[in-house]
Chains A and B, each alone.
Chain A
Amino acid sequence: SYVLTQPPSVSVAPGNTAVMTCGGDNIGGQTVHWYQHKPGQAPVVVIFYDTDRPSGISERFSGSKSGNTATLTISRVEGADEAAYYCQGWESRSDHVVFGGGTKLTVL
């Protein structure tokens, strides 16, 4: 199946590390991309192709993938990082696009 599962919420204190997961049975066969979405703003890609960071995105954002799980890590978390984060998978051969349900990151 192409279902991606994300925890609904993650909370972290400023300066600490936030880890958000995205699980799926066939995630190994997909490329995974991550988006940050703040209220009233357009979603922004923060990681593409599992680990690549677009220009202009802080190096505090990193992505990884292992087994059935992709992970977005934000180090040295700041208040401005508070947002919803969505993972998206793309299986190139079938051209299938799927999104996870999103994780709300709260900075304590």
Chain B
Amino acid sequence: QVQLRESGPGLVKPSQTLSLTCAVFGGSIRSDDYFWNWIRQPAGKALEWIGRLYPSGTTKYNPSFKSRVTMSLDTSKNQFSLKLISVTAADTAVYYCVREGGLFRSGSYSPAGWFDPWGLGALVTVSS
């Protein structure tokens, strides 16, 4: 059974860069039939999709974050990462790494649009 675990600093200063890593256990991030996502939830607010990594390393970001976010794969460590630059207090949230399944269509897999499993989440607070 695949498990995901987030790690990274819990406190980041305003204007600096938030960096998180997601370790994947029990499955390979190189599998063609899965995609790797980051989702966050500020306290008292709705969940918000940040972006997706394809097995090739290609990315798709939520336009709300596009200018500030970078996601990447590290196949040697079977993990993927999130970097969010120029953070403010509004970026304070629980950040989840999440796997997304794939649908086989026209000879290849495409994202299925739903998420399972999720990591436990990592609380990141932006404060000086």
Which of A's residues lie within 8 Å of B, judged by CB? 31, 33, 35, 40-45, 48-49, 54, 86, 88, 90, 92, 95, 97-102
* Interface 0/1 of B20-44, CB less than 8 Å to A: 0000000000000000000000000
The reply to whether the CB of B107 lies closer than 8 angstroms to some CB of chain A is no
Q: 8 other contacts beyond A90-B114, A102-B46, with CB at 8 A cut-off?
A: A42-B96, A42-B117, A42-B118, A43-B115, A88-B115, A95-B60, A97-B62, A101-B45
**CB–CB B49/A42 < 8 A:** no
Q: Would A45 and B115 be within 8 Å (CB), given that A95-B60, A97-B62 are in contact?
A: yes
Q: Would A101 and B46 be within 8 Å (CB), given that A43-B96, A95-B60, A95-B111 are in contact?
A: yes
Q: Would A54 and B47 be within 8 Å (CB), given that A95-B111, A97-B62 are in contact?
A: no
Chain B: CB-nearest residue to A54: B116
Complex Cα distance, B46 from A101, in Å, reads 4
User: Interface of chain B, helix or strand or loop or mixed?
Assistant: strand
- Residue of B45, B60, B111, B114 near A49 (CB, 8 A) is B114
Complex Cα distance, B113 from A49, in Å, reads 9
**CB–CB B114/A48 < 8 A:** yes
What distance in Å separates the Cβ of A4 from its nearest Cβ neighbour in chain B? 8
**CB–CB A97/B49 < 8 A:** yes
What distance in Å separates the Cβ of A48 from its nearest Cβ neighbour in chain B? 4
What distance in Å separates the Cβ of A72 from its nearest Cβ neighbour in chain B? 14
